[in-house]
Amino acid sequence: MRYSYQREIILDIVRSTKTHPTAEWIHNKAQKKIKAISLGTVYRNLGLLENLGKIQTVKDNNVVRYDCNIEPHNHLKCKICDTLIDIPVANEAMKKNVKSKYNFDVDDINITFIGTCSKHN
Protein backbone atom coordinates (compact mmCIF):
# COMPACT_ATOMS: atom_id res chain seq x y z
CA MET A 1 0.00 0.00 0.00
CA ARG A 2 1.29 3.39 -1.04
CA TYR A 3 1.95 6.11 1.52
CA SER A 4 -0.67 8.85 1.79
CA TYR A 5 -0.48 11.94 3.97
CA GLN A 6 -4.29 11.97 4.19
CA ARG A 7 -4.28 8.45 5.65
CA GLU A 8 -1.59 9.37 8.17
CA ILE A 9 -3.57 12.37 9.39
CA ILE A 10 -6.78 10.34 9.61
CA LEU A 11 -5.11 7.65 11.72
CA ASP A 12 -3.59 10.32 13.97
CA ILE A 13 -7.01 11.84 14.53
CA VAL A 14 -8.68 8.51 15.39
CA ARG A 15 -5.82 7.80 17.80
CA SER A 16 -6.16 11.20 19.43
CA THR A 17 -9.52 10.53 21.09
CA LYS A 18 -11.53 7.98 23.01
CA THR A 19 -14.84 9.53 21.98
CA HIS A 20 -15.56 7.03 19.18
CA PRO A 21 -15.83 9.72 16.50
CA THR A 22 -17.91 9.52 13.34
CA ALA A 23 -16.51 9.94 9.83
CA GLU A 24 -17.95 13.43 9.68
CA TRP A 25 -16.24 14.48 12.92
CA ILE A 26 -12.95 13.05 11.66
CA HIS A 27 -13.43 14.88 8.36
CA ASN A 28 -13.94 18.20 10.17
CA LYS A 29 -10.79 17.67 12.23
CA ALA A 30 -8.81 16.61 9.17
CA GLN A 31 -9.78 19.79 7.33
CA LYS A 32 -7.87 21.75 9.98
CA LYS A 33 -4.71 20.09 8.63
CA ILE A 34 -5.62 19.54 4.97
CA LYS A 35 -8.14 22.12 3.87
CA ALA A 36 -9.34 20.29 0.73
CA ILE A 37 -9.54 16.74 2.10
CA SER A 38 -12.75 15.14 0.89
CA LEU A 39 -15.26 13.13 2.88
CA GLY A 40 -14.90 10.24 0.42
CA THR A 41 -11.18 10.09 1.17
CA VAL A 42 -11.95 9.94 4.88
CA TYR A 43 -14.40 7.07 4.43
CA ARG A 44 -12.08 5.13 2.11
CA ASN A 45 -9.10 5.46 4.43
CA LEU A 46 -11.12 4.57 7.51
CA GLY A 47 -12.16 1.41 5.69
CA LEU A 48 -8.55 0.64 4.73
CA LEU A 49 -7.34 1.25 8.27
CA GLU A 50 -10.02 -1.08 9.57
CA ASN A 51 -8.94 -3.81 7.12
CA LEU A 52 -5.35 -3.31 8.26
CA GLY A 53 -6.54 -3.90 11.83
CA LYS A 54 -5.33 -0.47 12.91
CA ILE A 55 -8.76 0.73 14.01
CA GLN A 56 -12.14 -0.80 14.85
CA THR A 57 -15.70 0.23 14.13
CA VAL A 58 -18.75 0.34 16.39
CA LYS A 59 -22.30 0.59 15.09
CA ASP A 60 -24.18 3.26 17.01
CA ASN A 61 -27.78 3.55 15.87
CA ASN A 62 -27.44 4.28 12.18
CA VAL A 63 -23.96 5.77 12.34
CA VAL A 64 -20.59 4.04 12.26
CA ARG A 65 -18.11 5.20 14.90
CA TYR A 66 -14.37 4.60 14.80
CA ASP A 67 -12.24 3.39 17.67
CA CYS A 68 -8.46 3.26 18.04
CA ASN A 69 -8.86 0.58 20.72
CA ILE A 70 -8.09 -2.58 18.75
CA GLU A 71 -8.41 -4.98 21.67
CA PRO A 72 -11.58 -7.07 21.59
CA HIS A 73 -13.97 -5.14 23.76
CA ASN A 74 -17.60 -4.16 24.25
CA HIS A 75 -19.41 -0.94 25.07
CA LEU A 76 -21.60 0.79 27.57
CA LYS A 77 -23.88 3.28 25.85
CA CYS A 78 -25.32 6.04 27.97
CA LYS A 79 -28.76 7.06 26.77
CA ILE A 80 -28.48 10.43 28.49
CA CYS A 81 -25.14 11.75 27.19
CA ASP A 82 -24.74 9.27 24.31
CA THR A 83 -21.23 8.42 25.49
CA LEU A 84 -19.77 5.08 24.49
CA ILE A 85 -17.53 3.57 27.15
CA ASP A 86 -15.13 0.74 26.34
CA ILE A 87 -15.19 -2.30 28.60
CA PRO A 88 -13.20 -5.53 28.36
CA VAL A 89 -14.98 -8.45 26.72
CA ALA A 90 -17.63 -9.55 29.18
CA ASN A 91 -17.19 -13.27 28.92
CA GLU A 92 -15.21 -15.38 26.43
CA ALA A 93 -16.80 -18.48 27.97
CA MET A 94 -20.11 -17.45 26.39
CA LYS A 95 -18.76 -18.62 23.04
CA LYS A 96 -18.40 -22.18 24.30
CA ASN A 97 -21.83 -22.00 25.85
CA VAL A 98 -23.41 -20.95 22.56
CA LYS A 99 -21.49 -23.65 20.69
CA SER A 100 -22.75 -26.40 22.97
CA LYS A 101 -26.31 -25.12 23.22
CA TYR A 102 -26.94 -24.07 19.62
CA ASN A 103 -24.11 -25.70 17.63
CA PHE A 104 -23.24 -22.18 16.48
CA ASP A 105 -19.56 -21.27 15.98
CA VAL A 106 -19.07 -17.77 17.33
CA ASP A 107 -16.42 -15.57 15.69
CA ASP A 108 -17.39 -12.34 17.31
CA ILE A 109 -19.62 -11.15 20.12
CA ASN A 110 -21.27 -7.80 19.84
CA ILE A 111 -22.52 -6.52 23.16
CA THR A 112 -23.86 -3.10 24.00
CA PHE A 113 -25.22 -2.30 27.42
CA ILE A 114 -27.71 0.54 27.17
CA GLY A 115 -28.39 2.55 30.28
CA THR A 116 -27.23 5.45 32.41
CA CYS A 117 -23.58 6.16 33.09
CA SER A 118 -22.01 7.22 36.38
CA LYS A 119 -22.14 10.94 35.51
CA HIS A 120 -25.89 11.00 36.01
CA ASN A 121 -26.48 9.65 39.51
- What's the residue count for the chain? 121
Please report, as a single letter, which amino acid is at residue 90: A
Q: Which does 94 bind (CB under 5 to 8 A by kind): DNA, a copy of itself, none?
A: a copy of itself
Is residue 67 a contact partner of residue 86, using CB atoms and an 8 Å limit?
Answer: yes
List the single partner that 98 binds among DNA, a copy of itself, none, CB under 5 to 8 Å by kind: a copy of itself
Smallest distance from DNA to CB 119, Å: 24
**One of 79, 89, 92, 96 touching a copy of itself (CB under 8 A):** 79
How far is the C-alpha of 45 from the C-alpha of 10, rounded, in Å? 7
Q: Which does 19 bind (CB under 5 to 8 A by kind): a copy of itself, DNA, none?
A: none
Amino acid, single-letter form, for residue 91? N
